[in-house]
């Protein structure tokens, strides 16, 4: 093993995460050592197991250690509505917040030819075959609003059209519960141009 | 194993730390799974190794996997000056910030009879024997300013007096680089009553 003291190795390893700087890592390390060694050991076990065993759902591509994720395996979810998101975290966000009872398809990224991320990398050929089979009646596009997200949304719209599947897109605009003065210009401009009858 | 999906177990286990709530834990879990599985495995290994192997220094009681910590084992540190702190984290803080070349003694807590933390729990009988042996010429008291920290400081002063060792205390007062208006009343009051010739 390395000559570096174990405590330093621990503090360094804990820093690998977003939002955990040197000070927090130090605090976590001491906390685990002083009070929570059993918890630390459990954390180590769960991390290792998750890294080794979690793969992707055979149907929607999200993270799961099973063949199918819970949502895809559920009989109470409506398989004719498919919401396409960029990451497994988006599935969790939508499922926690919204009253959505359809299923998902997770791209695990967005189109970015410059980084070698093609439609095939995102499983879009598999999605297209699925749309062609006619089991999906509505494809909800819920990609991000970055340039790559927009390009991906456009591509999704096209494969839906080819398969004669209705494509919809989640609403983008002013967030709920906020004052207009705190909303950035491009969101406001989008909100104005996408205004609806009231 | 549990019926709970591994991903949920991972997010839950990650939340055990101060400053890591459900959202951060989720973000860390997805980040590790999406991009950093090797790092995750390394993190798991280091945590487990640290929890199992890190014990206490035979001389100063701080955390180390060796018999003596680096500072106690070092020949370039002055063993005649001993700085007494409450936790291993204080050693790291002082050593990173101050130009201190003496050694440390780590209490791993402070006197709190109500919680069953007696002088023996803190190793104060060992410290007293060491002071009695005459190898220490100055005992720097650097406990916290809580009531328990003060009681501990007082106890330290007494054992130093019994062993005829000079006891000093780090300065408490207005933090450097700040405006007086942001300093709390009890700190200000202490700073006034502890004023020095200028």
| Average pLDDT of the segment spanning B50-78 | 95
3 state SS of B55: strand
Domains of chain A: 6-53 (1.10.8.420), 74-169 (3.40.1360.10)
Condensed to tens digits (0 to 9), the pLDDT of residues B150-179 reads 999 999 999 999 999 999 999 888 888 878
Condensed to tens digits (0 to 9), the pLDDT of residues B3-47 reads 788 999 999 999 877 778 888 898 899 989 988 899 999 999 999
Encode A31-78 in three state secondary structure. Answer: HHHHHCHHHHHHHHHHHHHHHHHCEECCCCCCEECCCCCHHHHCCCCE
Interchain CB contacts (distance < 8 Å): A and B: 153
Return the higher-pLDDT residue of B126 and A186: B126
Q: Which of B6, B47, B89 sits opposite A26 (nearest CB)?
A: B89
Q: Are the Cβ atoms of A14 and B43 closer than 8 angstroms? A: yes
Helices A37-53 and B37-53: crossing angle, nearest 10°? 150
- pLDDT value at residue A196: 81
Tell me: pLDDT of A17 over 80.
no
Give φ, ψ of B106 to 5 degrees: -105, 120
Tell me: pLDDT of B1 over 60.
no
Give φ, ψ of A179 to 5 degrees: -85, 145
Query: Are B163 and B128 spatial neighbours (Cβ–Cβ below 8 Å)?
Result: yes
Give the global pTM: 0.79
- pLDDT value at residue B191: 82
List alpha helices for chain B, DSSP H. Answer: 6-14, 22-35, 37-53, 70-73, 88-97, 124-132, 147-162, 185-193
Nearest CA in chain A to B109: A34
Q: Which of residues 105-164 of A touch B (CB under 8 A)?
A: 108
- pLDDT value at residue B188: 84
Return the higher-pLDDT residue of A187 and A2: A187
Substitution target from A47, A69, A92, A96 for chain B, most B beta carbons within 10 A: A47
Q: Are the Cβ atoms of A63 and B89 closer than 8 angstroms? A: no
Condensed to tens digits (0 to 9), the pLDDT of residues B109-118 reads 999 999 999 9
Tell me: pLDDT of A197 over 90.
no
């Amino acid at each position: 093993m390395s000559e570096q003291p174990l405590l330093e190795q621990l503090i360094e390893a804990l820093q690998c995460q977003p939002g955990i700087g040197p000070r927090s890592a130090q605090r976590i390390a001491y906390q685990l050592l002083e009070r929570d060694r059993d918890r630390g050991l459990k954390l180590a076990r769960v991390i290792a197991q998750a890294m080794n065993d979690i793969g992707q759902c055979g149907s929607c591509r999200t993270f799961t250690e099973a063949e199918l994720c819970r949502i895809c395996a559920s009989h109470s979810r409506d398989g004719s509505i498919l919401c396409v998101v960029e990451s497994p975290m988006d599935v969790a966000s939508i499922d926690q917040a919204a009253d959505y009872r359809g299923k998902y398809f997770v791209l695990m990224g967005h189109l970015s030819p410059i980084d070698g991320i093609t439609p095939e990398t995102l499983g879009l050929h598999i999605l297209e075959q699925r749309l062609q089979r006619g089991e999906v009646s509505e494809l909800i596009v819920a990609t991000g609003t970055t340039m790559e997200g927009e390009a991906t949304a456009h591509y999704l719209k096209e494969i839906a059209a080819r398969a004669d599947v209705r494509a919809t897109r989640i609403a983008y605009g002013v967030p709920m519960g906020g004052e207009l003065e705190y909303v950035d210009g491009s969101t406001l401009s989008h909100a104005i141009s996408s205004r609806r009858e009231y």
